[in-house]
Amino acid sequence: EDQVTQSPEALRLQEGESSSLNCSYTVSGLRGLFWYRQDPGKGPEFLFTLYSAGEEKEKERLKATLTKKESFLHITAPKPEDSATYLCAAGSSASKIIFGSGTRLSIRP
């Protein structure tokens, strides 16, 4: 069964303290790994798409990487405005997109 698992569920960091969020996936015929940011009361905001192992994408303080079983979202020197829930989703060969439960990230000033 297709499954996406994110860890940790919640992460509290001090401003400037770098860390990584993990997304493990078991999907038949991966057709894209997606990262989204979701703020309270809002819909998910698209960040990155990764298609093949070894691929990396960067945007400001965020960098996403992909292996055959996992994806990581690295956050470098985070700021309080980076606080949000980060969602990972995998696209399957059946054209379905499966989301993980997300990581709630809190950055303290």
78 binds another protein (CB under 8 A): no
Instruction: Locate the DSSP E strands across the chain.
Output: 3-7, 10-14, 19-26, 33-38, 45-50, 56-59, 62-66, 70-75, 84-91, 97-99, 103-108
40 or 54, CB closer to another protein? Answer: 40
Q: Assess 13 for contact with another protein (CB under 8 A).
A: no
Tell me if 99 sits within 8 A of 4, measured CB to CB.
Answer: yes
Candidates 14-22, 35-43, 57-65, 69-77; binding stretch for another protein (CB under 8 A): 35-43
Query: Is the separation of the CB atoms in 84 and 38 below 8 Å?
Result: yes
- Binding another protein (rule: CB under 8 A), the pick from 15, 45, 56, 58 is 45
Binding positions for another protein, rule: CB under 8 A: 4, 6, 31-32, 34, 36, 41-46, 49, 87, 89, 91-92, 94-102
